[in-house]
Amino acid sequence: MRNTFINTLTALAENNKDIFLLCGDLGYSVLEPFAAKFPERFLNVGIAEQNMTQVAVGLAREGYNVFTYSIGNFPTLRCMEQIRYDVCYHQANVKIVAVGAGYAYGPQGVSHHTTEDIAMLRAIPNMLVCAPADPVEAAAAARFMAGCAGPGYVRINKSGESCIHDPSAQLTIAPGKFLPIRTGSSTAVLSTGAMLSVVMKDIERHALNYAVFSVPFIGHYDRQTLINLTEQFEEIVTVEEHQLNGGFGSSIMEVLGDLYSERGIERMPRVRRIGIPNKFFGMSGSQDYLRTVAKLHLTDDRSDEK
| Domains in the chain with CATH codes | 2-156 (3.40.50.970), 179-293 (3.40.50.920)
**pLDDT for residue 302 is more than 80:** no
Residue 278 pLDDT: 93
Q: Considering only CA atoms, which of 219, 29, 40, 245 is closest in space to residue 130? A: 219
CA atoms within a 13 Å half-sphere pointing along the CA-CB vector of 283: 11
Q: What torsion, rounded to 10 degrees, do the Cα atoms 31, 102, 246, 200 define?
A: 110
- Judged on CB neighbours under 10 Å (0-12, 13-18, 19+), 30 is middle
- Provide CB contacts within 8 A for 129, sequence distance 6+: 118, 121, 122, 152, 153, 155, 217, 218, 219
Mean pLDDT of 152-157: 97
pLDDT band at 301 (very low <50, low <70, confident <90, very high): low
Is the pTM higher than 0.75?
yes
